[in-house]
Amino acid sequence: DNFKARATRHIFLIRHSQYNLDGSLDKDRTLTELGREQAELTGGRLASLGVKFDKIVHSSMTRAIETTDIISKHLPGVNRVSTDLLREGAPIEPDPPVSDWKPEARQYYEDGARIEAAFRNFIHRADAKQEEDSYEIFVCHANVIRYIVCRALQFPPEGWLRMSLNNGSITHLVIRPSGRVALRTLGDSGFMPPDKITRT
Amino acid sequence: RPGPTSGVWDSNWDKREPRS
C-alpha cells in the first residue's frame, strides 16, 4: 500500500500559438501578433480555471518559449522548466499516409524515440509520495500532443494525424491513481473568438 | 510499434517500461 498512487494528475497540453513560418531557423520562427493575442487568451483561460498549477513544462523551441512567456504572465509564481524532449517532430509514420508531408524515414527513428521518451517521462499516474492532486501545463506542439493523446488512451499511435489542433488550444488529460486515463477536452479553443482561431 | 492496440485496457501501461 505504501507504493500505491493516491493522487490524480491533471495534464494540460497547450499547442503553441500562431507563428511566423517564413524563418528558416527556429529562432526566427517567432510568434505573430495574432499568436501573441492567442497566447494571452490561453493564459487568461488557464488562470480563470481557478486551479493552482504546479508547474509549466515547455518545449525548447522558440514558438513554445514565447507562448510560455505570455501564459506565465497570467500564472504568477508557477515555475517553468524547458525540455528538448517536447520539441516538434515526426512521431510515427501516419496511417493513412498523407501526400503533402513526407519526412525522411530516419526522422521517424530520431523523433519517434524522443517523443516516445517524452510520453514515458511526463505521462504516468502520480507517484505514491504525491499526496495532493496536481495540475501541470505542457506547452508544446501539435504532433507531440496528438501522439501523446493516442498513447495515453491506448489508441493506435499511427492514427495521430487524424486529429487536428488549433493554435493555443487546450487538451486536458486526467490520470487517476488506478492508471485510468480520461481525455476531458481535446484541443479546446472555444474561449477564443472565431476570427482569432488558426491552425498554422 | 509502441503500445497495445488490442482494444483491451492495460492497467499497468505506465509500469512496463522505464520512464525515459
pLDDT per residue rounded down to tens, chain A (200 residues): 778 999 999 999 999 999 999 999 999 999 999 999 999 999 999 999 999 999 999 999 999 999 999 999 999 999 999 999 999 999 999 999 998 888 998 999 999 999 999 999 999 999 999 999 999 999 999 999 999 999 999 999 999 999 999 999 999 999 999 999 999 999 999 999 999 999 98
User: Using 50, 70 and 90 to split pLDDT, how confident is the model at B8?
Assistant: confident
pLDDT of residue A2: 77
φ and ψ at A179, to 5 degrees? 95, -5
Selecting from A85, A151, A180 the residue whose C-beta is nearest the C-beta of B2 gives A151
pLDDT of residue A100: 87
Flag if A116 and B5 touch (Cβ within 8 Å).
Answer: no
C-alpha cell at A71: 501564459
Q: Which residues of B touch A85 (CB under 8 A)?
A: 20
Q: How far apart are CA A77 and CA B8, in angstroms?
A: 41
Q: Which residues pair with A134 in a beta bridge?
A: A9
Q: Which residues of A touch B13 (CB under 8 A)?
A: 154, 179
pLDDT of residue A1: 73
φ and ψ at A70, to 5 degrees? -75, -45
Q: How far apart are CA A3 and CA A173, in angstroms?
A: 23
Flag if A178 and B4 touch (Cβ within 8 Å).
Answer: no
On the CB side of A157, CA atoms within 13 Å amount to: 21
Q: Which residues of B touch A92 (CB under 8 A)?
A: 1-2
**End-to-end distance of chain B based on CA atoms, in angstroms?**
17
CA angle A126, A61, A108 (to 5 degrees): 75
Selecting from B1, B9, B18 the residue whose C-beta is nearest the C-beta of A154 gives B9
The answer to whether the CB of A13 falls within 8 A of the CB of A171 is yes
